[in-house]
Structure 1
Amino acid sequence: MKQIKYITVLLLVFFMLSCDEDFLEPAPISAVSGEDYYRNDQELEKGVINIYDGLQGENSTSSNDNHSTQVEYYLTEMRSDNTRTKSQEGEAAQFESYDVQAVNGIVYDYYRSFYNVIYRANVVIENLDNASDANRAKFEGEAKFLRAYAYFNLVRLFGDIPLIDRVVSPLEKEVQFTRVSASSIYDFIISDLETAVVSLDNNYIPKASRAGAQALLAKVHLTLGNYTDAQVLLESVMQGGFALQSNFNDVFYKERNSEIIFAIEYLPNLSDDSQNFSAEWLNAVGRTVGVNYVTTEARAALDAMGGERTQYSYRQDVDQPTQYQVAKYFPNGELGPDYASDPRLAGNDWIVLRYADVLLMHVEAIMAGGSSTSAAAALSSFQKVRDRAGFTDPVTSITKQELLDERRVELAFENQRFFDLVRFGVAQEVLSSFSVDNGYNFQSTDLLLPIPQAEIGISNGLLQQNPGYN
């Protein structure tokens, strides 16, 4: 990972020194090109590793670093009814109170981080002609899967966004800063994932794989209401040998287990490859005063419907009994209040796609936007998830609300809740009620985040802001 980072830094320095016209103007990182690199399989493979490295994000406190996945919970869980801050202070509290500002540094961090991932993918794709016949398809499949994943998150969070499908120069401002319709972004995502499905196999799970591409593409189709397409893809994944872990806790602390389809991997006690979000969610061991704390509403849902999952999903803060912490990602799986290693250098992998999610998406695809289903295939998938949670009574029908509730308690604190509410068409209703109950400021325009003001400034007015933000 370090070697790739050094290469990127050298390319940035070279580019800055060679472009006098734009030297003083902040240029998007997606404009950098490594003309003398990526000439063979070995170098292209490093380029692919560099994309994963971009998804990991930097384990640092510098606001200029890309933190990517490590700050995603702010934009997702903390904008749902699942989590909040401990102190209701600072930029973090803007997410829970639905008062996010266009100058919010966390939003800007995430936005630029994922466009950096897209840049890294574009570099690999642009140099595929230099790959051997034996490896070209795999490199293309991985790069396009990861690019599609980045665009899928961005379009769901920001709506219409710039579509950068190649390495561009700093002078191509129309490409960099022209917002393209969300429907066009989704067409691009589907194309990338369809390429990944035919280009990849299942030899590299939990990294990009055919099953991962199929599962992610199915979620895209569910988002768009293409239920039949989603069902076919999900049933293909279900034939791929995945299985639920018998112990729910093992999903998160037995890495590369049979339930994991795609995960962003971290290693403990290495500053370049560890993560700090695990520590951030604890009290007085992270770099904040505590974030992603469990809401009263999420705790009530887990107590009522979580079954055996509840004890592994949240815990009472041992130091402040009125607070409740997310328990799925305690640093390195250590469950006590004390940690043998530095919790700010945690090695817990971040799970993006797992088999329980596939089973519940399968129910959603069969329900096809309806209010309920009694289809045998849907009941079978739903029952598997319920059985693992300790609810073994036979299911005879499933309502839309029951499916949404099951997704909430099964996938709690895994950055799924906000997207689920939007996809099920109930986000405005649920979040409005949640906001009223807690004295927050939710408006319908809060379903999209603001385009970072820094990007609008760099664009010299080409980028337009989302409604509801100054």
Structure 2
Amino acid sequence: MKQIQIITLLVMGILISSCGEDYLDPTPVSSIGSNGFYKNEAEVQAAVVNIYDGLQLAVQREFAITEMRSDNTKTRSSEGDWAQFEDLNVKSTNSTVADYWAMFYNVIFRANTVLENLDAAGDSAPKFEGEAKFTRALSYFNLVRLFGDVPLIDKVIGPTDTEYFDRDSTADIYALIISDLQTAIQNLDNTYKGRASKVAAQALLAKVYLTLKNYGDAQDLCEDVIGTSGIALAPTFRDVFYTERNSEILFAIEYVNDIADNSQDFSLEFTQNGRVRGLNYATPELITAFNNYGGAARTSTSLIYDDTSTAPAIPDPLQDYRCGKFVSNSTANQQNGNDWIVLRLADVLLMHVEAILAGGDVTSSSSAIASFKKVRDRAGLPTGSNITKEDLLNERRVELAFENHRFFDLVRLGVAEQVLSDFATANGIVFTTSDLLLPIPEREIGVSFGKLTQNPGY
């Protein structure tokens, strides 16, 4: 990882599982146990770095269970398990869903391991606590929004700790997320963009509060982020993605070209050379949205025409367009170095508008218009004298396309059922309200001693 020392084989020996194993399996992969390992600050620091290594793996297929379950993206050829996402027909045996669950619980395990060994961290203990709690909160925020009630595991557990195998209420999960992020805000500074920071924790907590309809606290946090020294929109939209660690980035998961353990392959999958000849391709509906609301700079950066011939002057919804934000830049194809952006300022500026809307349909607040205008100005587009919820949804869609926000935006703003139902009808597929949650992976139910139950509709 950029700016982070690559972890040694000795440190890797403390892990309980690889990303593909069930999260309930606590067996170490080597004879080096965590009880005897964490003796000083350097060793705890290595465990902190290990959390980010886990995130590198965990987010690589997130596009499938977010963007491809919305009206934004699809596969190029509608083949295999990937087509379950675009068809809103995800099975409990889907391996991508199972791996996502296991990977994020593995990140939670790594964070819990750090939190249980802070006594060895010396003066760095508060910072390491903030990083561990930020990453644990991020993991649980993703899981609770995608699966609903999930097991709350706030310590390193063993195979006999079956009381942790139950599903806990979303209220309890959100209480832990909020507490973790409040600690992270208190303990962190803004040194890093590829590691947890105060400003990233503030932005994430603001999004949590928006999800819970706590608009006042969300607005305050957004304004804190917007006013933070050194945080500013990148000069051009393209700079956001092709000048890494720029002023707009609050938190990104960092990768390096051509180093297998620190590279990603989603950039390759977003092309016709990827598996099933292309994943995360723009739907006709997304292409139309760019034509209506995108502006030239955002459209040309976001969409790449998939033909070798000259692209149409105006993107054609009947043609294939792939994501242009994370173009493969590796000599080894599957070992790309494009960072995955989790939080950036444009998202927060639009969250600020959402907080001021406070569940309403329109606002003429000068503060909301000022934030909206910053995003629109960079796109070369005018801003009116008021902002509707529909304006906000359209702006978020084209500004943040392919960045895994659309599905969560639809749910949070209360329009998911209508939008996805209309999308399904137009595309000859079936949508039911149970599709708003993913199935609990069948293999996890199988190893939970009957504790885990399935979501309705699966």
| Fold similarity call, TM over 0.5 | yes
8 Å CA contact 2:22–2:102 kept in 1: the answer is: no
Q: 1:147 to 1:27 in 2, by over 3 A?
A: closer
In structure 2, the residue matched to 1:106 is 96
Q: Distance in 1 between matches of 2:22 and 2:107?
A: 18
Deviations 1:236-295 (A, max 9, x none): 1111131111211110010000000000000000000000000001012x3442110110
Q: Quote the Cα distance in structure 2 between the aligned partners of 1:85 and 1:258.
A: 33
How far, CA to CA, are the matches of 2:228 and 2:187 in structure 1? Answer: 16
Q: Is the 8 A contact 1:4 1:50 kept in 2?
A: no
1:389-428 paired onto structure 2 within 5 Å = 389-391=379-381, 393-428=382-417
Instruction: Map 1:83-232; keep pairs closer than 5 Å.
Output: 83-132=73-122, 134-175=123-164, 177-232=165-220
User: Structure 2: how far apart are the matches of 1:318 and 1:138?
Assistant: 49
- Report deviation, 1:26: 6.7
**2:441 alignment partner in structure 1:** 452
User: Corresponding residue for 1:53?
Assistant: 53
SS of corresponding position for 1:243? coil
Task: Could you tell me which runs of 5 or more consecutive residues in structure 2 were left unpaired when the two chains were aligned.
Answer: 312-318
Q: Give the 3-state SS of the residue equivalent to 1:353 in structure 2.
A: strand
Question: 16, 24, 29: which is aligned to 1:28?
Answer: 24
SS across alignment from 2:250: strand
C-alpha deviations, 1:38-63, integer Å up to 9, x for none? Answer: 22110010000000000001xxxxxx
* 1:463 pairs with 2:452: yes
Name the counterpart of 2:324: 327
Alpha-carbon distance in 2 for matches of 1:201, 1:172: 36
Q: Specify the SS of the correspondent of 1:351.
A: strand
Match of residue 361 from structure 1: 351
Q: Judging changes above 3 Å, is the alpha-carbon distance between structure 1 residues 39 and 259 closer, same or farther for their aligned structure 2 residues?
A: same
Structure 1 residue 303 displacement after superposition: 1.1
Cα distance 1:373–1:166, how it changes in 2: closer, same or farther (>3 A)?
Answer: same
Distance 1:287 1:345 in 2: 15
| Distance in 2 separating the partners of 1:447 and 1:396 | 34
- The residue that corresponds to 1:20 in the other structure is none
Tell me how far apart the structure 2 counterparts of residues 384 and 108 of structure 1 sit (CA, whole Å): 40
Shift of 1:10: 6.0
CA distance in 2, matches of 1:41, 1:355: 33
1:372 match: 362
Per-residue CA distance 1:403-458 (angstroms, 9 max, x = gap) = 11100010011000000000000000000000010111211100000000000001
Inter-partner Cα distance in structure 2 for 1:288 and 1:341: 21
Worse-matched range after superposition: 354-363 or 287-296: 287-296
**Equivalent AA in structure 2 for residue 88 of structure 1:** S
CA contact (8 A) 2:16 2:27 kept: no
Contact 1:30 1:115 in 2 (8 A): no
Q: Does 1:255 align with 2:244?
A: yes
- The one-letter code matched in structure 2 to 1:81 is D
Deviation at 1:395, TM superposition (A): 2.4
In 1, the alpha carbon distance for the partners of 2:286 and 2:141 equals 26
Instruction: Give me the whole-angstrom Cα distance separating, in 2, the residues matched to 1:452 and 1:251.
Output: 35
Deviation, structure 1 residue 315: 1.5
Q: Provide the rounded CA distance (Å) in 2 between the counterparts of 1:9 and 1:91.
A: 33
Question: What is the 5 A alignment of 1:236-247?
Answer: 236-241=224-229, 242-247=231-236
2:314 maps to which residue?
Answer: none
Distance change (3 Å), C-alpha of 1:179 and 1:390: same
Is the 1:30–1:119 contact (alpha carbons within 8 Å) kept by the matching residues of 2? no
Q: Give 1:213's aligned amino acid.
A: A
Report whether the alignment pairs 1:41 with 2:41: yes
Q: Which amino acid aligns with 1:103?
A: T
The yes-or-no answer on 1:289 pairing with 2:277 is yes
Tell me how far apart the structure 1 counterparts of residues 120 and 262 of structure 2 sit (CA, whole Å): 28
Matches of 1:170 and 1:7, distance apart in 2? 23
Could you list the per-position Cα deviations for residues 51-98 of structure 1 after superposition, in whole angstroms to 9, with x for gaps in the alignment?
Answer: 0000001xxxxxxxxxx1000000000000000011111110000001
The residue identity in structure 2 corresponding to 1:409 is V
Q: Say if 1:446 and 1:43 are closer, same or farther in 2 by CA, change over 3 A.
A: same
Partner amino acid, structure 1, of 2:326:
Y
Which residue identity does 1:227 align to in structure 2?
Y
TM-score (norm 1): 0.90
- Structure 1 residue 8: deviation in Å? 3.9
User: SS of the counterpart of 1:352?
Assistant: strand
Structure 1 counterpart of 2:42, one-letter code = Q
Higher mean alpha-carbon deviation, 316-325 vs 364-373, is at: 316-325
Matched residue SS, 1:298? helix
Q: Is the Cα–Cα contact under 8 Å of residues 83 and 292 in structure 1 kept in the other structure?
A: yes
Could you state the TM-score of these two structures normalised by the residue count of structure 2?
0.92
Aligned to 2:266: 277
* Contact 2:23–2:106 under 8 Å retained in 1: no
Residue among 315, 327, 334 paired with 1:344? 334
Change over 3 Å in CA distance of 1:170–1:389 after alignment to 2: same
Distance 1:300 1:279 in 2: 25
The code of the aligned residue for 2:102 comes to R
Structure 2 SS opposite 1:390: coil
* Distance apart, 1:30 and its partner CA: 5.5
Q: What is the number of residues matched between the two proteins? A: 437
Against the structure 1 CA distance between its residues 5 and 98, is the aligned structure 2 distance closer, same or farther, given a 3 Å change threshold? farther
Whole-Å Cα distance in 1 between the matches of residues 190 and 60 of structure 2? Answer: 26
User: How has the CA–CA distance of structure 1 residues 30 and 447 changed in structure 2, closer, same or farther, with 3 Å as cutoff?
Assistant: farther
Secondary structure class of the residue paired with 2:142: helix
Map Cα deviations across residues 308-327 of structure 1 (whole Å, 9 max, x no partner): 21111112102598311111
Q: Any conservation in 1 of the 2:23–2:102 contact (CA below 8 Å)?
A: no
One-letter amino acid of the counterpart of residue 142, structure 1: E
SS in structure 1 at match of 2:384: coil
Corresponding residue for residue 302 of structure 1: 290
Q: Distance in 2 between matches of 1:363 and 1:341?
A: 42
